[in-house]
Chain A
Amino acid sequence: MREGPDEADELKARLAKLRGDLQSQRDGQKEVQRKADGDLTDKGLGQAMSLGFRVLSEFVAATVVGAVIGWQLDLWIGTAPFLLILFLGFGVAAGFWSVYRLAVTPPAPRDGQKPPQ
């Protein structure tokens, strides 16, 4: 019975220490996170804008190319306007596919990883 309060005190002290350690670690993580966010707002604006332009131009270009292919095939075979409509759909699908690929693979592997072979 004598050791009871001592043990409890020791346990409390250890708990307090643990809480302090956890808190400081969490603060450190927050600091790192904030630094990363700061990087994003400073340097990342231009990168984000260029990525946005990339998405836009890929999508528009694929749609236009699909439409032009359909239009020319229509002129050639004489089935206007069905192939134009069909290939416009294919162009839009190709545009979405390009944008999807852009989103899946990061545009610039920064951390020195090997590119997908």
Chain B
Amino acid sequence: MSEAGPAIDPIHQFHINPIAPLHIFGIDASFTNASLFMVVVLLAISFVMVLGTSGSHIVPNRLQTLAEMAYEFVASTVRQTAGDAGMRFFPFVFSIFMFVLFANMIGLIPYTFTVTSQIIVTFAFAAFIIGMVLAYGFYKNGMHFLNLFIPSGVSPILLPFIVLIEVISFASRPISLSVRLFANMLAGHITLKVFGGFVTLLLGAGVYSLLAPLPLIGIILLTAFELLVAFLQAYVFAILTCVYLNDAIHPGH
């Protein structure tokens, strides 16, 4: 692959290329490869969930097992983290979890585009989640929601500092939530590409081509590890969504 290309560029996989240019009122709304893979992710999720839930056999087939496992997993996560009152957010958390999981998993297939390796995508998710936490927190608890920033049992002298620290800590949530997912995906894919580059470089290096299988073994191990990371990051994203929603449902710790 790299012999044809001018150089091995591990960043090239993250380039966004417009497929169908579209400019609405001066805003670049082109259909890009990122949009294409978002559609692919949505189609894959719809395929699994619609076909998986259409049969409802007593002895489930593979797709139904997958759909039921995903449901049970997310439902137990939501119930354990946000309580029974959090179950009204189950559709939201489930959608987020499935989208992130499928985007991560599909991104691991060679020649595909990883939607979650774009910080704007993960930040849009995180900002939406935090915005929803704020909106629901104020809607449900009114001004009592601000108790979230006032821990009980703090001396009045320290209270302004603690409140300031709590506010900064809350404001950092969307950033840490988005950067974690984005950085994990970006770093994993760059690492895989760099190891792949080692293989091609070693193959063209005379005697040292004997060493070429070593990075190849590394790629195999890293791919397995990336599968684990892809799942874990989707899980962490979902569970943190639940934790933040729990703050909105039950503020004041």
Contacts and interface: CB of A to CB of B under 8 A. Distances in A.
Interface stretch (B78-86, B137-145, B194-202, B203-211): B78-86
Residue of B168, B171, B175, B179 ringed by the most chain A CB atoms within 10 A: B168
B117 to A, nearest CB: 15
A41 interface: no
B232 A90 contact: no
Given A108-B239, A114-B83, A46 B172 contact: no
B180 A57 contact: yes
B246 A65 contact: no
A64 B165 CA distance: 13
Which label, helix, strand, loop or mixed, suits the secondary structure of the B interface? Answer: helix
Interface in B3-50: none
B236 interface: yes
Of residues A54, A61, A116, A117, which shows the largest number of chain B Cβ atoms within 10 Å of its Cβ?
Answer: A61
A109 B80 contact: yes
B191 interface: no
Interface hub of B161, B172, B229 (most chain A Cβ within 10 A): B172
Interface in B224-251: 228-229, 232-233, 235-236, 239, 246, 250
Give the size range of A's interface with the partner. Answer: 20 to 34
Contact of A61 (B83, B165, B166, B176): B176
Contacts of A20: none
Nearest to B182: A57
B172 A115 contact: no
B239 A115 contact: no
Given A53-B184, A112-B80, A115-B81, A97 B165 contact: yes
Interface string B164-187: 111011011101100110011000
Given A66-B172, A90-B161, 4 more contacts: A93-B165, A94-B168, A97-B166, A116-B253
Interface of A: 46-47, 49-50, 53-54, 57-58, 60-62, 64-66, 69, 87, 90-91, 93-95, 97-98, 107-109, 112, 114-117
14 contacts: A49-B232, A54-B180, A54-B236, A61-B173, A61-B176, A93-B161, A94-B165, A94-B172, A95-B169, A108-B80, A109-B81, A114-B83, A115-B82, A117-B250
